[in-house]
Amino acid sequence: MKVTKKIVLEEHDMPTQWYNIVADMVTKPQPMLNPQTREPITQKDLEVLFSKGAAEQELSTERWIDIPDEVRDLYRIYRPTPLVRASGLEKALDTPAKIYFKNESVSPVGSHKLNSAIPQAYYNKIQGIQHLTTETGAGQWGSALSIACKHFGLDLKVYMVRLSYEQKPYRKSVMHTYGATVIPSPSDTTEAGRAMRAQYPNTPGSLGMAISEAVEVALQQPNTKYALGSVMSHVCLHQTIIGLEALKQMEIAGDYPDVVIGCFGGGSNFAGISFPFMRNNLVNGAKTQFIAAEPALCPKLTQGKLIYDYGDTEGFTPLIPMYSLGHDFEPAAIHAGGLRYHGAGAILSQLLKDGLYEGRDIDQLDSFKAGVLFSQVEGIIPAPESTHAICAAIQEALKAKEEGKEKVILFNLSGHGLIDMASYDRYFAGDLH
């Protein structure tokens, strides 16, 4: 028996509070603006779309926010998740680096998305809301919100990016099994959808378009709210449970990361693994490097501009201060559907501006190559999104080898790819570029 492979925590070790990084930021994020008045958004403005609980958390500056018992109760279906030593990957790369990953793929829907789906459904439930709408890219968020809504007795309508709807038909089946309604976006069921189909008849859709549709329905239908799977500060907050657990687990392992890596779509998965460690950079003088791995074909962090932009294509959301490629940016039809988003959330944009982390562009072919290697040496076939983080981790491990350094690398395995096998098929067939 070699080094410990998995660091597991007991249920009673699960964090009781989420971490809100805003409390520790030197420069606070710029406020979101009400697009009509261009005044900073208020909780009341947010409550038009979101649950009261989410709206309150969105603007909170409290450092620690209690996780409700009902939420922790459901988290226990899969949490705490294991921290795994990627010993197979270390050996394959022949690197002196120690590589760890937080394995969020053990969630029953296969990804980290449940971490925010559960509280979002819960806050709507206690407010008496009966219907939710949402968007989903690869389908991970939609699946997560479907089971969370089923648990709390809410009805859910999911607008799924058409490209993913076609690429990943099993995701729709998962949502269906959990009792949700799934509509490929853009659709004919909303004004926004019809307008987008008129403008781009052959569009594969995008997260921005699907958000517009879901928001439109939430605004028009009684007793209905909207839930978003990333970007927003309250979603990043919920995801910090990943990093909070990882902090404890790294301590048990006797290591502290020199590098922390997450893939980046709207930013909540990256926030989740990073923020609890970034706190030590902000307040305790730690020097950890943070890398957000994004698709080279959707390079908001390296090529975007920090502007006030809409979160969706049609312009229904508040104006968000974001590194953005423009809300009408139409991302290429890459297979990492969860990363096909034009902008970064407000907190994440401020942190990028302030140099707390860096974006790294990953080519699609390199991401799948990394995913296949990881599959073969660690056994877990990663989601196409997560392969971006793996690819960056491999780059860092090879750099450590060149430099002869025993670096400690931590990345988040945000999800498995068992429902994305058609993407791997296309990779092996040489159809991807």
Give the residues lining the site for a copy of itself (CB under 8 A). Answer: 1-2, 4-6, 8, 10-11, 69, 72-73, 76-78, 84, 88, 106, 108-110, 147, 150-151, 169-170, 173-174, 176-179, 372, 375-381, 416, 418-419, 421-422, 424-425, 428
Q: Are strands 155-161 and 131-136 parallel, antiparallel or unpaired?
A: parallel
* Complex with a copy of itself: residue 48 or 77, whichever CB lies closer: 77
Both structure tokens of 269 = 């998965």
Tally the C-alpha atoms within 13 A of residue 50's C-alpha that lie toward its C-beta. Answer: 26
* Complex with a copy of itself: residue 178 or 275, whichever CB lies closer: 178
18: which strand partners?
A: 65
* Complex with a copy of itself: residue 1 or 198, whichever CB lies closer: 1
260: which strand partners?
A: 290, 410
Taking the C-alpha atoms of residue 123 and residue 202, their distance in angstroms, rounded to an integer, is 37
- Classify residue 266 by its DSSP letter: S
* Complex with a copy of itself: residue 78 or 308, whichever CB lies closer: 78
Contact, 137 vs 211, CB < 8 A? no
* Complex with a copy of itself: residue 278 or 380, whichever CB lies closer: 380
* Complex with a copy of itself: residue 40 or 179, whichever CB lies closer: 179
Taking the C-alpha atoms of residue 116 and residue 113, their distance in angstroms, rounded to an integer, is 6
Please, what is the minimum distance in Å from the beta carbon of residue 414 to a copy of itself?
A: 15
Please, what is the minimum distance in Å from the beta carbon of residue 420 to a copy of itself?
A: 9
* Complex with a copy of itself: residue 140 or 203, whichever CB lies closer: 140
What is the SS3 assignment for 291?
Answer: strand
Both structure tokens of 230 = 């990333």
Please, what is the minimum distance in Å from the beta carbon of residue 161 to a copy of itself?
A: 18
Please, what is the minimum distance in Å from the beta carbon of residue 382 to a copy of itself?
A: 10
- The DSSP line for 71-140 is HHHHHTTTPSPPEEE-HHHHHHHT-SSEEEEEEGGGSTTSBTTHHHHHHHHHHHHHTT--EEEEEESSSH
* Complex with a copy of itself: residue 18 or 341, whichever CB lies closer: 18
Both structure tokens of 54 = 């989410």
Please, what is the minimum distance in Å from the beta carbon of residue 83 to a copy of itself?
A: 12
Please, what is the minimum distance in Å from the beta carbon of residue 108 to a copy of itself?
A: 4
What is the SS3 assignment for 310?
Answer: strand
Please, what is the minimum distance in Å from the beta carbon of residue 378 to a copy of itself?
A: 7
Where helices occur in 221-267 by DSSP H, the ranges are: 233-253
Please, what is the minimum distance in Å from the beta carbon of residue 375 to a copy of itself?
A: 5
Contact, 329 vs 372, CB < 8 A? no
Give which of 165, 95, 163, 142 is closest to 393, Cα–Cα: 95
* Complex with a copy of itself: residue 194 or 369, whichever CB lies closer: 369
Nearest-10 crossing angle of helices 114-126, 140-152: 40
Please, what is the minimum distance in Å from the beta carbon of residue 106 to a copy of itself?
A: 6
